[in-house]
């Protein structure tokens, strides 16, 4: 049977479609007479379109199209694309092929006149039939004048004003201009707007082979007879999603006057689906889409994963063989022919699994299993694995949780649950499990990553694809539980890395916001542990890739609208003038650019990021990380001044370094940056990401520890000698009240200083330091100065109040109160005030001494202020006493001369002790105020203080004992027991003889 297309010419022209037996073709004219009622009928242009033969059981017909004819779109769609390019099987009624040049036009007309609302009535109503007939007649009257007009039918009416959906067919090619003019005529006549979609104006030529083979490079060609005056578009519909096709890494679109091509490079499963070539003609009232569509399938190759059950088969003591089930799993739904190659393999009912039988008596022979997948194009892909058997005497790790028996020296692998990736665990050579390593990435995170990787292959525009990816990433990262592992953070960072390499700019405000919000979400403090895992990719950690990606993305992002402020990222863009503060504060830090006009300067600040970038164990990042980029290429020298707000206050003597991230060495580098202590800012001469690096420990003065130990050791020995000498000569030198007072003060000063020095020697490092030791030091040093205060008070009293004497007993009581009770009260109050001697509040463990924060802040002031007052009082007392002594008249009696000489001796003690302690602690005050980071002067001050402070015991020995003539003589005579001792009254200067 043949289907024929016949053009019949008489007084009118008719187009007739007939299904006839082959034998009836000679009598075709007679068959047409009843239809046209014209005996002068002439048949012209007889064409056979379809050839059909009777199939099995004579109930079906198998039909094929003749050359230059094709199956209509309706037949293709009804058959599910199965017969679009080949034979179709029909029950009873036969489909009919149409000319390759035939045109189908489907469309809709929107009617605004009230009379056409009757077309919305029931189809059986008179109103509907009249309205439908009127509209159909009006449309046919216009479109039937076009050459080749065949049919016009209205399929349905819809609400929206009144919308009529219709379809027309043309036997011949039509001219676009003619279609436009006729449609405009209808639009004018009916006060309507018309939307049309043509099929047949555009011809789509697909690859001859369908499905195309994986990794082929097919070319799709789209042609038109006339220049349609508009640029063509290519679309691909896959899994219900429509993608526009652009130039990309896997596609190339070329356009000429009447032809457009899509060349696909290295095709994959992403390119399978229905392709549409589309020309859009947009007018005021008439819109026409010329399109052609066809399906292209891809013969895929799978990703193969081999699993074994059990993963490490173990031979039993009495067994000769072990059986292992091997399964080759694929990642798609396509069917493959699978071949196995292994001599001891038993294939199962499942084509993708097999049983392997291995011997337990031949450890030298390791079974290897290989499965080979072959697709419909005949392309193969193999995958193989070793069967690692645990023999009788082999060491192995026993089951633990999810982990099964594993041979020593091998790694067990498990698929992630509800995630992509694998979990791995090594069984060490001694048969013990090592720590698990996981590369499990949650499915929603992996989905975003896969979309990020293909934004530039040509399916959709890069900018639109990137906007969708940023939107998805923002949704995923909003819940920190979704990215709470190292692999999840690594995958999220990989999304940013992929986008930074593919994008040229980011301009849409919503995309900018999604980009910064998702990047900020990744830096949430709750994710510290995830970042600490610092997953390594391409020898770079996640934090390094994150910073590198953000630097690039910030550079191409339009930040001009307003400062973008998020929890962990703030960014801004503005035009900087020379030497002006050109940005709003970002986390309380700002930038000043000093140089030639840089154009727009983009700055971004990151919280927490510095904690994840590699630094030495001796330092830490004490600021935000700030990235600075300029729009213009900079010519000539320039400076970037960054006013950082420190995360933690800088302790004294702790070095601060301004650093920039070096992308080459992937480390912080001080090159090109310096810290300005006066302005407390970083000054850098290049663009990068900047931060403030601070040492964890104060600067160490070279040799100071050794000098301290030597000095304290000498002092302790000297103080012991001084106390011993005082006790030895006590009875010979203590003759008057003033000498008693003086020597009592000397002994107590030595005792207090001895306790303090021993505390220092007992704490050679910070680990041995404790609050009790610091409390003893605090008390002992204060007591030294209060005993000096007691001595100078007695001196001032005896010289101002000449006729008022104080007994030794009274003086001793007053001295004990001043020397011990007053410092004890100060120390206890300070101890309690600073949270019971809490570390960092009352004392520093590093220095094992009192704290100093800033002026008038810190426990050190409870030592500094009393000492300062006492030193001032000592100086004042000496001045008053010296003036009093100089003003005494020459007629002063003998008693006054005697007292005068005694006062001179006391003054001498005060004058000698005041520099020993006063000058020493003046340098101590300087050490407290001068920072080691300020240079050589600070080091010199530390050396001077250490020398004076640690050798105080030696100075006391020299001044109290060896420099005192009376003490020296008595000591020498004690040593010369055979000589007659002579005793000198140190208070009167009189020498007396004594007989032992």
- The DSSP-derived string for 826-889 is HHHHHHHHTTTT-BTTTEETTTTEE---BTTBSTTHHHHHHHHHHHHHHHHHHHHHHHHHHT--
Backbone angles phi, psi at 506, to 5 degrees: -130, 110
- Summarize pLDDT for 513-543 with one digit per residue, the tens: 999 999 999 999 999 999 988 777 777 899 9
- Summarize pLDDT for 904-956 with one digit per residue, the tens: 555 565 566 566 666 777 777 777 777 777 778 888 888 888 888 888 888 88
Residues 744/733, Cβ–Cβ less than 8 Å = no
Check pLDDT > 70 for residue 481.
yes
Q: What is the mean pLDDT of the chain?
A: 84
* Rounded distance between C-alpha atoms, residue 2 and residue 193, angstroms: 41
Q: How much is the average pLDDT of 30-44?
A: 59
Q: How confident is the model at residue 497 (pLDDT cuts 50, 70, 90)?
A: very high
pLDDT at 893: 46
Lowest mean pLDDT among 144-158, 188-202, 332-346, 790-804: 790-804
Residues 406/367, Cβ–Cβ less than 8 Å = no
Q: How confident is the model at residue 274 (pLDDT cuts 50, 70, 90)?
A: very high
Read off the DSSP letter of residue 961: I
**Choice between 161 and 16, residue whose per-residue pLDDT is larger:** 161
Q: Of 92-106, 586-600, 704-718, 730-744, which has the strongest mean pLDDT?
A: 704-718
pLDDT at 988: 44
* Rounded distance between C-alpha atoms, residue 505 and residue 216, angstroms: 32
Check pLDDT > 60 for residue 4.
no
Check pLDDT > 90 for residue 994.
no
**Choice between 769 and 24, residue whose per-residue pLDDT is larger:** 769
- Summarize pLDDT for 164-183 with one digit per residue, the tens: 999 999 888 888 889 999 99
Q: Of 414-423, 580-589, 734-743, 855-864, which has the strongest mean pLDDT?
A: 414-423
Q: How much is the average pLDDT of 272-299?
A: 93
Q: How much is the average pLDDT of 483-499?
A: 95
Residues 52/94, Cβ–Cβ less than 8 Å = yes
* Rounded distance between C-alpha atoms, residue 487 and residue 480, angstroms: 13
**H or E stretch covering 436:** strand 433-438
**Choice between 24 and 459, residue whose per-residue pLDDT is larger:** 459
Q: How confident is the model at residue 583 (pLDDT cuts 50, 70, 90)?
A: low
pLDDT at 447: 95
Check pLDDT > 80 for residue 894.
no
Q: Which residues contact 130 (CB under 8 A, 6 or more apart)?
A: 118
pLDDT at 143: 93
Residues 640/687, Cβ–Cβ less than 8 Å = yes
Q: How confident is the model at residue 596 (pLDDT cuts 50, 70, 90)?
A: confident
Check pLDDT > 80 for residue 370.
yes
Furthest-apart CA atoms within the chain: distance in Å: 180
* Rounded distance between C-alpha atoms, residue 269 and residue 426, angstroms: 36
Q: How confident is the model at residue 990 (pLDDT cuts 50, 70, 90)?
A: very low
**Choice between 35 and 674, residue whose per-residue pLDDT is larger:** 674
pLDDT at 607: 94
pLDDT at 1: 46
Task: Identify which of 776, 769, 727 has the alpha carbon closest to the alpha carbon of residue 752.
Answer: 776
Determine whether 62 is exposed, middle or buried from the number of CB atoms within 10 Å of its CB (0-12, 13-18, 19+). middle
Lowest mean pLDDT among 8-17, 275-284, 297-306, 516-525: 8-17
Angle at 814 between CA 877 and CA 917, to 5 degrees: 45
Helix (H, G, I), strand (E, B) or coil at 767: helix
pLDDT at 215: 83
* Rounded distance between C-alpha atoms, residue 356 and residue 898, angstroms: 118
Share of the chain above pLDDT 70, in %: 84
The alpha-helical segments, DSSP class H, found in 54-175 are 73-78, 126-143
Q: How much is the average pLDDT of 547-569?
A: 89
**Choice between 391 and 580, residue whose per-residue pLDDT is larger:** 391
Bridge-partner residues for 983, per DSSP?
Answer: 992
- Summarize pLDDT for 58-81 with one digit per residue, the tens: 666 778 888 878 777 667 666 655
pLDDT at 979: 46
**Choice between 949 and 890, residue whose per-residue pLDDT is larger:** 949
Q: How much is the average pLDDT of 597-606?
A: 85
pLDDT at 187: 92
* Rounded distance between C-alpha atoms, residue 407 and residue 316, angstroms: 14
CA atoms within 13 A on the CB side of 200: 25
**Choice between 494 and 983, residue whose per-residue pLDDT is larger:** 494
Share of the chain above pLDDT 90, in %: 42
Check pLDDT > 60 for residue 35.
no
**H or E stretch covering 816:** helix 808-816
* Rounded distance between C-alpha atoms, residue 541 and residue 316, angstroms: 45
Check pLDDT > 60 for residue 263.
yes
* Rounded distance between C-alpha atoms, residue 109 and residue 193, angstroms: 6
pLDDT at 989: 46
Per DSSP bridges, beta strands 192-199 and 286-296 are parallel
**Choice between 539 and 57, residue whose per-residue pLDDT is larger:** 539
Using alpha carbons, list the distances in angstroms from residue 336 to 104, 238, 331, 342, 708. Answer: 39, 22, 12, 19, 82
- Summarize pLDDT for 730-783 with one digit per residue, the tens: 888 787 777 787 788 889 989 998 999 899 888 877 788 999 999 999 999 899
Q: How confident is the model at residue 574 (pLDDT cuts 50, 70, 90)?
A: confident
């Amino acid at each position: 049977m043949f289907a024929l297309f016949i053009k019949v010419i008489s007084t009118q022209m008719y187009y007739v479609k007939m299904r006839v037996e082959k034998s009836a073709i000679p009598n075709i004219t007679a068959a047409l007479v009843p239809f046209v009622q014209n005996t002068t009928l002439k048949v012209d242009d007889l064409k056979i379109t379809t050839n059909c033969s009777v199939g099995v059981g004579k109930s079906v017909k198998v039909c094929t199209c003749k050359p230059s004819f094709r199956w209509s779109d309706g037949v293709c769609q009804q058959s599910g694309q199965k017969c679009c390019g080949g034979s179709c099987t029909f029950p009873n009624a036969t489909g009919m092929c149409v000319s390759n040049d035939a045109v189908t036009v489907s469309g809709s007309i929107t009617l605004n006149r009230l009379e056409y609302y009757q077309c919305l009535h029931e189809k059986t109503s008179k109103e509907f039939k009249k309205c439908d007939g009127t509209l159909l007649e009006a449309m046919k009257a216009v479109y039937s004048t076009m050459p080749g007009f065949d049919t016009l039918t209205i399929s349905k009416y819809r609400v929206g004003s009144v919308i009529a959906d219709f379809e027309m067919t043309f036997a011949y090619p039509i001219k676009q201009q003619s279609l436009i003019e006729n449609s405009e005529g209808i639009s004018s006549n009916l006060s309507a707007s018309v939307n049309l979609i043509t099929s047949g104006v555009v011809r789509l030529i697909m690859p001859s082979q369908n499905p195309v083979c994986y990794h082929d490079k097919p070319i799709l060609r789209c042609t038109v007879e006339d220049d349609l005056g508009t640029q063509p578009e290519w679309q691909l519909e896959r899994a219900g999603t429509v993608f526009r096709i652009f130039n990309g890494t896997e596609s190339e679109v070329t356009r000429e006057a009447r032809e457009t091509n899509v060349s696909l490079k290295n095709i994959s499963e992403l390119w399978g689906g229905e392709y549409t070539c589309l020309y859009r003609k947009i007018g005021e009232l008439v819109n026409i889409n010329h399109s052609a569509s066809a399906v292209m399938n891809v013969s895929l190759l799978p990703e193969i994963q081999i699993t074994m059950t059990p993963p490490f088969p173990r031979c039993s003591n009495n067994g000769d063989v072990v059986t292992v089930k091997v399964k080759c799993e694929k990642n798609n739904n396509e069917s493959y022919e699978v071949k196995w190659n292994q001599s001891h393999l038993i294939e199962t009912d499942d084509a993708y699994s097999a049983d392997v039988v291995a011997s337990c008596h031949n450890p030298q022979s390791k079974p290897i299993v290989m499965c080979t997948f072959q697709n419909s194009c005949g392309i193969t892909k193999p995958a193989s694995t070793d069967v690692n058997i645990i023999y009788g005497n082999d060491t192995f790790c026993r089951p633990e949780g999810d982990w099964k028996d594993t041979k020593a020296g091998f790694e067990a692998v498990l698929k992630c649950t509800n995630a992509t990736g694998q979990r791995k665990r090594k069984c060490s050579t001694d048969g013990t499990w090592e720590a698990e390593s996981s590369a499990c990435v949650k499915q929603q995170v992996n989905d975003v990553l896969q979309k990020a990787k293909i934004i530039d292959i040509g399916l959709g525009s890069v900018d639109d694809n990137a906007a969708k990816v940023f939107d998805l990433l923002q949704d995923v990262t909003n819940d920190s539980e979704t990215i709470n592992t190292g692999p999840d953070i690594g995958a999220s960072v990989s999304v940013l890395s992929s986008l930074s390499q593919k994008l040229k700019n980011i301009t849409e405000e919503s995309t900018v916001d999604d980009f910064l919000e998702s990047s900020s979400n990744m830096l949430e403090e709750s994710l510290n542990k995830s970042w600490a895992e610092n997953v390594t990719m391409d020898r770079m950690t996640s934090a390094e890739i994150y910073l590198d990606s953000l630097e690039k993305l910030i550079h191409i992002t339009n930040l001009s609208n307003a400062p973008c402020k998020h929890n962990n990222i703030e960014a801004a863009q503005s035009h900087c003038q020379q030497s002006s503060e050109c940005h709003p504060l970002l986390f309380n830090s700002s930038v000043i650019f000093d140089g030639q006009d840089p154009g727009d300067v983009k700055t971004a600040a990151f919280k927490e990021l510095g904690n994840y970038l590699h630094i030495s164990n001796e330092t830490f990042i004490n600021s935000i990380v700030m990235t600075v980029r300029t729009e213009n290429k900079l010519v000539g020298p320039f400076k970037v001044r960054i006013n950082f707000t420190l995360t933690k206050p800088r302790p004294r003597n702790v070095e601060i370094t301004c650093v920039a991230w070096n992308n080459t060495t992937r480390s912080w580098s001080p090159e090109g940056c310096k810290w300005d202590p006066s302005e407390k800012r970083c000054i850098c001469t290049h663009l990068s990401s900047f931060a403030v690096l601070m040492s964890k420990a104060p600067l160490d003065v070279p040799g100071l520890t050794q000098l301290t130990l030597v000095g304290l050791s000498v002092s302790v020995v000297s103080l012991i000698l001084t106390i011993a000498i005082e006790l030895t000569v006590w009875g010979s030198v203590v003759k008057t009240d003033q000498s008693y007072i003086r020597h009592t003060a000397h002994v107590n000063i030595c005792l207090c200083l001895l306790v303090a020095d021993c505390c220092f020697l007992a704490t050679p490092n910070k680990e041995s330091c404790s609050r009790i030791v610091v409390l003893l030091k605090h008390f002992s040093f204060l007591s030294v100065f209060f005993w000096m205060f007691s001595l100078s008070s007695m001196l001032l009293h005896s010289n101002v109040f000449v006729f008022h004497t104080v007994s030794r007993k009274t003086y001793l009581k007053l001295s004990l109160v001043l020397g011990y009770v007053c410092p004890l009260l100060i120390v206890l109050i300070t101890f309690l005030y600073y949270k019971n001697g809490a570390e960092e509040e009352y004392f520093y463990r590093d220095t094992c001494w009192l704290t100093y924060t800033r002026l008038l802040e810190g426990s050190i002031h409870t030592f500094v202020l009393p000492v300062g007052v006492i030193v001032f009082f000592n100086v004042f007392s000496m001045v008053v006493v010296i003036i009093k002594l100089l003003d005494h008249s020459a007629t002063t009696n003998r008693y006054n001369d005697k007292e005068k000489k005694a006062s001179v001796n006391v003054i001498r003690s005060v004058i000698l002790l005041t520099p020993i302690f006063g000058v020493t602690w003046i340098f101590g005050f300087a050490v407290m105020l001068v920072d080691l980071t300020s240079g050589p002067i600070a080091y010199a001050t530390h050396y001077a203080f250490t020398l004076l402070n640690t050798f105080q015991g030696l100075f006391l020995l020299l001044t109290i004992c060896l420099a005192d003539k009376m003490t020296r003589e008595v000591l020498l005579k004690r040593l010369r027991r055979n000589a007659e001792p002579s005793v000198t009254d140190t208070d009167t200067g009189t020498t007396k003889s004594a007989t032992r």
